[in-house]
Amino acid sequence: MNPIKESTPETANLPGRESNEENKTLTCVKYLSSDTIDLEIDEPPLRGEGLNTWFYLTALQMARSMVTPDKAFCVLDELAGRSAKSGEIERQVSQAYKWCNSGESQSANAISRPMWPARDDDQIRELFRSFPATIKDVQASSPCGQPDDHPLEILKTLHGLKGDEFLCLAASPTANALTKTFNEWSDPRLVNRHKLASWEMCVPNLMQGRTGTTKDGLPNRPRTRDNACALDQRRFIVTEIDIRADDPLCDSLGVTPLDICASFIMGCINPKLLKMVVMSGGKSLHPWLDVTGKTDSEIDEIFRSLTPLGVDWRGTLPEQQFRLPNGFRANKNAKQSVIYFNPDKAQS
């Protein structure tokens, strides 16, 4: 049973934007021609909200419009300002033009998938009107209350960890991730437990190895598709609704993004799959769904039914990191509290 009733497949928007209504219009030099073309390009999202993906998708848009790679780099570099890391734009431009020119994507899995459905504001409005809810409603529905345990204890309980399993954690969205066994993370000689409680990020699914090789061929990296769990071995998916506080949709409904998230959780998610809900410390709630035993195609189908509601498709990625349960978000000075917890609920 999918956690949502219906979907409306359309073309995908770039991360962090509702539509192209607020896009900048850019004049670019056409590749192999003296003609010029106008491209509508979304403003870049913030670091930690899909900036790296925006680089790739925008470079792909320019590649398909026959803009030269050098020009594409200049455009992205200008729009990103100081947000880009060293070499980040070059890598995404290279990957986008490689895919466009040779049909090879950075991921064979990504090639086989059609574009994700776009956000459908009519569906979101209908959702909220049918299932109006708040954070308090989510909290009240939690079978195990709101545990105040250390993040390691939350993950231990949720995964049923014994000690030698690999967890990938990071101090912040921009910090280098680390992959260690649960025993290593719990060893006070290796890790400061108190400091770890102030970290922000984790990969919901257990890693299958300590390091792997990136899509760019960089070896010995702690968070890659290579050392993440296999697609058919994912235990959890996180269905994060990505709607900004200043989104016109919120004004039209007179609600906050958190209210929309709460309505989504209470009205759309199969409670037999829901294991945990984490406060992001910002504008969203992060529901963790248990998909044990589901195939890659079944998980893909779930997300295709949910992306029209603003759910971020990157929750399908086994190496994707999300907010650490009961961690602490420094830039918001806010705890990433677990507001719903039911690790023992049986699946359908």
DSSP string, 19-48: -STTPEEEEEEBTTSS-EEEEEEPPPPPTT
pLDDT at 41 > cutoff 60 = yes
pLDDT of 63: 85
pLDDT band at 345 (very low <50, low <70, confident <90, very high): low
Cβ contact 326:158 at 8 Å:
no
pLDDT at 266 > cutoff 60 = yes
pLDDT of 7: 32
Contacts of residue 312, defined as CB under 8 A and 6 or more positions apart, other chains included, come to 15, 50, 240, 241, 242
| Averaged pLDDT, 308-327 | 96
pLDDT band at 3 (very low <50, low <70, confident <90, very high): low
Distance of CA 208 to the CA centre of its chain: 20
Distances (CA, A) of 239 to 104, 212, 265, 291, 347: 28, 25, 9, 12, 17
The pLDDT tens digits of the residues spanning 211-256 come to 999 877 788 999 999 999 999 999 999 999 989 999 999 999 999 9
- Cα 303 to Cα 163: distance, rounded to the nearest angstrom: 31
> Which residues are paired to 167 by β-bridges?
180
Q: How many CB atoms lie within 10 A of CB 194?
A: 9
pLDDT of 128: 96
Exposed e or buried b per residue across 202-213, where buried means at least 16 C-beta atoms within 10 angstroms of its C-beta: bbbbbbeeeebe
Supply the pTM of this predicted model. 0.72
pLDDT band at 109 (very low <50, low <70, confident <90, very high): very low
pLDDT of 11: 31
What token pair was written down for 74? Answer: 């200049």
DSSP H stretches of helix in 209-256: 248-253
pLDDT at 40 > cutoff 90 = no
Nearest to 294 by CA among 10, 7, 3, 5: 3
Cβ contact 117:307 at 8 Å:
yes
pLDDT of 61: 85
**Which amino acid appears at position 277 of this protein?**
V
- Cα 257 to Cα 210: distance, rounded to the nearest angstrom: 36
Question: Could you please report the per-residue DSSP string of 112-135?
Answer: HSPPPPPP-HHHHHHHHHHS---H
Nearest to 334 by CA among 198, 155, 203, 173: 198
pLDDT of 52: 82
- Cα 22 to Cα 75: distance, rounded to the nearest angstrom: 18
